Structure 1
Amino acid sequence: MADQRTFAEAAMTLDEFWTLIEQTKDASADIDERTEVLRAKLSRLSTEDVAAFDRRFTETLDRAYSHDLWGAAYIIQGGCSDDAFWDFRSVLISMGKDAFERAIRDPDSLASLSAEDLDELYAEGFQYVAGSIYEERTGVLLERSHPHPPKPVGEKRSDDPDELRKRWPKLFAKHWEE
């Protein structure tokens, strides 16, 4: 990704996006440190590439907007607002492509995460790095390239403990407190 790209040429591939995320993840297990590493990496890119990164981040974030993943977050946290679910998905992206894809395919697989990883799933900040850099450079807010999905995909979850236990048995066994 050369800094000399023009705005019309600025298109970050999904592989380039995940490479940046993996480099950030490999630098630290701590979400606050990963956030700072991402800031340093994005600061070296052109403004257009920062915007392209943000577009990829938003697409990836929206891909994780599902009732299945929200149900997993609900069980882990003992509740999960829409803002908390935004943070959850952002931190999940920060954990790298493999962890993200595994959670998308099987949200119940999150039961294998360590206590430290689970504590950080609701951290705020990682999702704002690109927008913050863009605003610092241009003085304007980074506009979303497409609207947030109006509702999560998939079958809506019930708050009934028996239903939660059936859909997410590993997470329920590990995290549900009655």
Structure 2
Amino acid sequence: MAIMDGDAFWAVVEDARAGVDDTRTAEGAEEVAERIENRLTELGPESAVAFALHYDVLGARSYDGNLWGAAYLMKGGCSDDAFDYFRGWLVTQGRRTWERALQDPDTLAELGVDPDDDFLECEDMLGVGRRAFGEEEAFYRALDAARGKLPAETFERPAAADDFDHDDDGEMRARYPRLAEIYLERAPE
């Protein structure tokens, strides 16, 4: 079993996004995840595992301090688990948004997310492959077997980004000027 290539992975995501009114909301992101799960169920167990493998690769590559800082700013705080769920939400925003956010997290300001909506999570994305596969133990056996055929570095996280204080408004404004304009309180003039 092979990992799903990026084009096939994102085709499943983009097809699932089609017709969802607003993927930026928790409800919209969950609807995308449900549609992905349904599509993977149709495609069969091998596709469910292949999708999960590619999702794991994206998860490793996006475990980045700069993206985490943007999530922290947008959500008003962001634990390790919340960052996982944020990245699930980010996948539901589509390939272009995902790729741009990894390159420059400040581009997330362009999404027009309501600054009062700090949920910005889609935990359901973390398990779409498992649920589409069906039987949980069999899924993890298949996933482990498929992982074992890939080079270990496939799932390596990037080198640690600069460590910085997410509660330092000045630092956040310097790193994410457009997001800070939306999500940070303005100091009185």
TM-score by length of 1: 0.83
> Equivalent residue of 1:125, what SS?
helix
Give the root-mean-square deviation of aligned CA atoms: 2.4
Residue 176 of structure 1 is matched in structure 2 by 184
Moved over 6 A (4+): none
Alignment of 1:6-155 (within 5 A): 7=1, 10-28=2-20, 29=23, 30-115=28-113, 121-134=120-133, 136-137=134-135, 139-142=137-140, 143=143, 145=147, 149=156, 153-155=160-162
**Deviation string, structure 1 residues 87-141 (Cα, Å, up to 9, x no partner):** 111111111110101101110111122235965622321221111222x246435
Answer yes or no: is the 8 Å Cα contact 1:68–1:157 preserved in 2.
Answer: no
- Tell me, in whole angstroms, the C-alpha distance in 2 between the residues paired with 1:157 and 1:93: 25
My pick for the range that moved more, 11-20 or 72-81, is 11-20
- Using the alignment, how far apart are the partners of 2:102 and 2:174 within structure 1? 18
Once the two structures are TM-superposed, the CA of residue 155 in structure 1 deviates from its matched residue by 1.6
Identical aligned pairs, as a percentage? Answer: 31
- Taking structure 2 as the reference length, the TM-score comes to 0.79
- For residues 82 and 169 of structure 1, the distance between their equivalents in structure 2, rounded to whole angstroms, comes to 24
Unmatched tracts of structure 1, length 5 or more? 1-6
Contact 1:157 1:164 in 2 (8 A): no
Structure 2: tracts of 5 or more residues without a match: none
- 8 A Cα contact 2:64 2:160, kept in partner: yes
Give the Å deviation of 1:41.
Answer: 0.3
- CA displacement at 1:174 relative to structure 2: 0.7
Q: Give the match's secondary structure for 2:18.
A: helix
Alignment-derived partner of residue 4 in structure 1 = none
Shift of 1:42: 0.4
Alpha carbons 2:65, 2:162 under 8 Å: kept: yes
Change in Cα spacing, 1:161 to 1:129, as seen in structure 2 (3 Å) is same
CA contact (8 A) 1:47 1:137 kept: no
Whole-Å Cα distance in 2 between the matches of residues 20 and 73 of structure 1?
A: 25
1:166 aligns with 2:165: no
Amino acid in structure 1 at the alignment position of 2:162: E
